[in-house]
Amino acid sequence: MIVIFVGVTIVFIVPRLTPMDPVQSIISRVTALVDTDPRAVEKLVETLTDLYGLRGSLLEQYLRFWKHLLSGDLGPSLTMFPASVVDIIKISLPWTIGLMTISTIIAWLLGIILGTLAGYFSNKRWSQILGTVVMCIYPIPYYIIALILVLLFAYLLPIFPLMGGASIGLKPSFSWSFITSLLKHGFLPAISLVIGTIGWIFMSQRALISRLVASDFIVFAETASLPRKKILSYLIRNSMLPQITDLALSLGGIFSGAIITEQVFSYPGIGVVLYSAILQGDFNLMMGISIFSIIGIATAALVLDLIYPLLDPRIRYK
């Protein structure tokens, strides 16, 4: 609760420290398009000030902000007026949750498996080659990988769609046509995220396994000629605690979306909405997405603390 309170307070303060005035920005765009009566402009300024929650002193704004937040009202989006921030997040968030959750779990599982094998069979030729390949891919930003995938498989070899989350005209449903279209449109964004994420998981898991291999229980297991599968299962179980922490925090961070990847593929997720809100100075929408992200990460950390005893028998609550 303290983390959420402090995080939400920072989200409230930071936009008010920026030099951008959202009200004047909108007024400038309106007056540049049409001639308006000064009295109408003044009335519009008052209305926008209320909509942005900028009326009154900073303390009054802060108290009013918490009052609306606790009632589930994040205000309207000024760039998509009159749609509310909550409604916009409800529409875009499921796309991001589906894409980010699946790609994060796949990258985590592959990183754990490959890192365990590479750490245990560190003297093998294939293990050294795999480590070198991952080390070369790891520094590449995931949006560069996304652009390469677009050029290869959407432009030069048009196997996958260039943009969108599903075919135009298809309504979300459990029909086979919608599911196949969803998978086809989400394949390249998911692969770019998997490739961009797997490097860190692989290297951290390999480092953990390299230390565990010299442990007494592994030495005794090998001396007793236990099957390799059994030894690998011991290694994975004893290296899970830090990796579960990383997975939980990664899943908690999906609320912020993969902004650049979604932008590259024009994927209709929360990242595209946040990018548009930043460019157009939509403070309400920016704050709403940031608040969802803070609550998601804090909740993931809390759940993680509660399930630690189930993951490691050495930890017990008294």
Say which residue, 39 or 1, is predicted with more confidence: 1
Q: What percent of the chain has pLDDT over 70?
A: 85
Residues 221-248 have a mean pLDDT of: 82
pLDDT of residue 244: 80
Predicted pLDDT at 32: 63
Q: What is the pLDDT of residue 26?
A: 67
Residues whose CB is less than 8 angstroms from the CB of residue 143 and which lie 6 or more positions away in sequence, other chains included: 192, 260, 261, 264
pLDDT at 184: 79
* pLDDT for 33 beyond 70: no
The pLDDT of residue 162 is above 70: yes
Confidence of residue 318 (pLDDT cuts 50, 70, 90): low
**Strand pairing partners for 84?**
76
Nearest to 289 by CA among 68, 5, 143, 90: 90
Read off the DSSP letter of residue 151.
Answer: I
Any idea what DSSP says for residue 154?
I
Q: Which residue has the tokens 């946040």?
A: 274
- Give the whole-number percent of the chain exceeding pLDDT 90: 0
CA atoms of 202 and 83, how far apart (whole Å)? 43
- According to the CATH classification, is domain 85-311 in 1.10.3720.10? yes
- For residue 64, the number of C-alpha atoms closer than 13 Å in the C-beta half-sphere is 13
CATH code 1.10.3720.10 region(s) in the chain: 85-311
Q: pTM for this one?
A: 0.76
Please report which confidence band the pLDDT of residue 95 belongs to, taking 50, 70 and 90 as the band edges. confident
Give pLDDT tens digits for 49-82.
777 667 777 788 788 888 878 887 777 777 776 7
Average pLDDT of the chain, as a whole number: 79
Q: Cis omega before residue 268 (within 30°)?
A: no
Instruction: Indicate the pLDDT class of residue 148, thresholds 50, 70 and 90.
Output: confident
Residue 84 backbone dihedrals phi, psi, to 5 degrees? -80, 160
CA–CA separation, 99 and 95 (whole Å): 6
